[in-house]
Amino acid sequence: MDILSKVKKSIRGLKAYDPGLTQTKYKLDANENPYDVPAVLKKAILKKAQRIPFNRYPDAATVTLKKNISKYLGVKTENIFVGNGSDEIIEYLMQTFVEQGDTVIVPTPTFEMYRIIGVINGAKIIELPLDKKFDIDEKAIITAVKKTKAKFVFLAYPNNPTGNCFSENKIMKIIESVDCFVVLDEAYYDFSGRSFLKCLKRHKNLIILRTFSKAFSMAALRMGYMIADRETVAAVNKVRLPYNINSLSQFVAVELLKADRTKVLEIIIKERKKLYALIKEKYECVDSNANFIFLKPKTPSKAQKVFEAQSISVRVFTAGPAAGWMRLTVGTPAENKLVRQILKRGV
């Protein structure tokens, strides 16, 4: 049997996602939190987690978790949807709303999964370049939505990989002008302190995504959530697999919501500012509202090797709209010191 000829046409051209794992000592390529959950807290959580019956299916409706997120955010549980990482929610959104050939609009460069998941689900992706200041062209987006009757506009806020928050006014203009979902992906919200959560009540087409992968140091256990109109949540629940969030992740997320992360966030933000102060003196770069910095190395072809020689992995973009630029995750103070030494010597 010719297996390749049976693969869906929309995904034949795709490559399997490559997270680019390297055997380096310092991982500054995936925008993770450099700090694990403190050992004492981790031990206490795992001790309590022993009560979780491994032979039973998880709570399919994630009742306790949603109650806790609801309390944490001050929104109703009917407005919350929980996913196995926000990646899974993006997949469910596309499954729910995108018909074959529907349009999805993304600025570029941005988080690659919007395009990849869109393509998998048969969407036609329109990529609209950011301007010179790495802000969105809201008029082009609005025009494209109206012309193509787009289903979604995806905006990461702050944007990955550029690290900046797009203009609030421009985003508001889009939300108010279009008959289409505007997904504001606030994965890095805790580092920016800026959110559109307060606008949810007034705008049914607004969808907000958050994750436990960054500020909550929980990337390994996969946990993300969406805050949206109750009808959106109800529709997306129709495609959700029954037990998408395992019992351990549900339990740990509830525990971590109670933990105070202020100190860790303060350190990361302070370190980002220190790193940026040096970078802006020597490189073309973007001021960041996230836990990473986007900059242009002088010799992009060598940058990766220079960092890897010191056992540091970073993300250097060799193709696409960010080609010639790199993204550097803020690490621990010791890691950032190493990074600064390398940047001072020049890459």
Q: Does 213 bind ligand PMP (CB under 6 A)?
A: yes
String marking each residue 19-48 x if it binds ligand PMP according to CB under 6 A: ------------x-----------------
Cβ 33 vs Cβ 219: under 8 Å: yes
Which listed residue (62, 79, 80, 87) binds ligand PMP by CB under 6 A? Answer: 87
CB of 216 to ligand PMP, least distance (A): 10
The closest residue (CB) to ligand PMP is 85
Give Cα 333 to chain centroid, integer Å. 23
CB of 103 to ligand PMP, least distance (A): 21
> Which window, 82-90, 122-130, 239-247, 252-260, contacts ligand PMP (CB under 6 A)?
82-90
Q: Which of 87, 48, 82 is nearest to 255 (CA)?
A: 48
Distance CA 245, CA 247 (A): 7
Cβ 122 vs Cβ 10: under 8 Å: yes
Q: Does 118 bind ligand PMP (CB under 6 A)?
A: no
Distance CA 253, CA 59 (A): 14
Q: Which of 21, 28, 4 is nearest to 272 (CA)?
A: 28
Residues 158-177 that bind ligand PMP (CB under 6 A): 160
> Which window, 15-23, 44-52, 85-93, 100-108, contacts ligand PMP (CB under 6 A)?
85-93
CB of 44 to ligand PMP, least distance (A): 24
Which listed residue (34, 109, 163, 224) binds ligand PMP by CB under 6 A? Answer: 224
Q: What is the DSSP letter of 221?
A: G
Distance CA 295, CA 282 (A): 10
Q: Does 211 bind ligand PMP (CB under 6 A)?
A: yes
CB of 9 to ligand PMP, least distance (A): 27
The CA R_g of the chain, rounded to the nearest whole Å, is: 20
- Shorter beta-carbon distance to ligand PMP: residue 31 or 232: 31
Q: Which residue has the tokens 């987690």?
A: 49
CB of 56 to ligand PMP, least distance (A): 25
CB of 5 to ligand PMP, least distance (A): 32
- Shorter beta-carbon distance to ligand PMP: residue 151 or 214: 214
Which listed residue (34, 58, 85, 107) binds ligand PMP by CB under 6 A? Answer: 85
CB of 90 to ligand PMP, least distance (A): 7
Distance CA 12, CA 5 (A): 9
CB-facing half-sphere around the CA of 336: CA atoms within 13 A: 22
Q: Count the Cβ atoms, other than its own, within 10 Å of residue 235.
A: 16
- Sequence-separated (6 or more) residues with CB below 8 Å from residue 333: 267, 271
**Beta-ladder partners of 210:** 225
Which listed residue (45, 219, 267, 278) binds ligand PMP by CB under 6 A? Answer: 219
Distance CA 340, CA 100 (A): 48
Q: Give me the residues that bind ligand PMP (CB under 6 A), please.
A: 31, 85-87, 111, 156, 160, 185, 187, 211, 213, 219, 224
